[in-house]
Amino acid sequence: MPTGVAIRDVREQLFDAAERVLLRDGPNALTSRAVTTEAGCAKGVLHRHFADFDAFLTELVQDRVGRLDSQAAALRDSAGSSTVAGNLTAALTELFGSVAVAIVGLVTSRDELRARLRRTRPTGIPLLAEATAMVASYLTAERQLGRIAADSDVDTLAPTLIGAGHLLFADRKSAPPPAETVRRTVTTVLSGVAREARA
């Protein structure tokens, strides 16, 4: 590998490479060498930008969790439009059709990574906790609009939807579930609280 060649956006290049390795080969295959090989750079590049590999993984997870902010805003903004089931189906498919399932697997499989993440996120599983908050915020907005029952327990509905969605997408080796399967799960969870015509 040549040295002295500037690499633009090194951190993002390494994060993207780690995502590709995670999606293709799973958390056990994620090593510093696998990441730098995938990124097409020398192994030392990673260690020049991060204290160690767990520091790299911690920042990767935090970066990917941070990306949920725009999805959360879009989901909140969709309140009152289309259908509640349709909006949640699209949100769960976008969330779990991405690298999210692999990130959750990475966090649960690495003790040191979990310990480092606990310093700033003392409860919940990173990404799943933020996704649950995203869905709870959306359901609260829909409850205020009267599209779900006023007595809906969004703090129970949100983790139920996230847990069910995660299970639907958890098998990395199979094709993602069809949209109708995701929609059926969402409508079942919401069946006692929905106040709109199903679509």
* 12-48 pLDDT tens trace: 999 999 999 998 888 889 999 999 999 999 989 998 9
The alpha carbons of the chain give a radius of gyration, in whole angstroms, of 19
Give the integer Cα–Cα distance in Å for 137 and 123.
18
pTM of the model: 0.86
CATH number given to 61-189: 1.10.357.10
Domain segments of the chain: what residues? 10-49, 61-189
Under CATH, which architecture does the 10-49 domain have? Orthogonal Bundle (1.10)
Residue positions counted in the chain: 199
Interhelix angle 10-25/100-109, rounded to 10 degrees, is 90
* Range of weakest confidence among 37-41, 106-110, 118-122: 118-122
Give yes or no for residue 171 having a pLDDT over 90: no
pLDDT attached to residue 196: 67
pLDDT in tens, 124-151: 888 899 999 999 999 999 999 999 999 9
Give the integer Cα–Cα distance in Å for 172 and 175.
8
